[in-house]
């Protein structure tokens, strides 16, 4: 139902309102079999305010180092790529901060293989990542 509401939203502020109205971010962080083993993060990564709301410090109790939320889909794109394509610099910075803190493992280096130069060119803070 929530996924249908996201797709039926007419504006970015409607998406943000839907994200903000959820009692906790678990619905966006867990994996849905009907989505092909995906979380909802790629579907809302175009909106900085929604990502900021989900990755907020107040939600750290819902973050789990065992279950990553940033990974590449079948097409090879990750939520970081989607946010970068939409010039959501603050979102990308938040996502990188999350990856460094909760997904800090070399196996996630693929998230930055094809977009590293774009990250540098757009002035994304990469020092914690490196």
The helix/strand/coil state of 32 is strand
> At residue 19, does pLDDT exceed 80?
no
- Name residues whose C-beta falls within 8 Å of residue 108's C-beta, 6 or more positions apart in sequence: 68, 70, 71, 99
* Distance (Å, whole) CA 79 – CA 111: 9
**The predicted structure's pLDDT at residue 37:** 56
The per-residue pLDDT for range 29-65, each reduced to its tens digit, is 776 555 565 677 777 788 888 888 888 888 888 887 7
pLDDT of residue 93: 93
pLDDT digits (tens, 9 = 90+) for 63-113: 877 778 888 877 888 889 988 998 889 999 999 998 999 888 888 888 888
Higher pLDDT, 1 or 57: 57
Whole-model pTM above 0.75? Answer: yes
């Amino acid at each position: 139902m929530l996924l249908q509401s996201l797709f039926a939203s007419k504006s970015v502020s409607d998406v943000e309102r839907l994200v903000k109205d959820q009692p906790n971010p678990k619905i966006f962080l867990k994996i849905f079999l009907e989505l092909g083993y995906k979380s909802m993060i790629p579907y809302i990564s175009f909106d900085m305010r929604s990502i900021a709301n989900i990755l907020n410090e107040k939600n750290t109790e819902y973050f789990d180092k065992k279950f990553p939320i940033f990974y590449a889909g079948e097409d090879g794109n990750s939520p970081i790529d989607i946010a970068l394509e939409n010039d959501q610099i603050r979102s990308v910075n938040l996502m990188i901060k999350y990856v460094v803190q909760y997904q800090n493992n070399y196996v996630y280096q693929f998230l930055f293989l094809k977009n590293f130069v774009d990250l540098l060119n757009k002035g994304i803070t990469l020092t914690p990542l490196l």
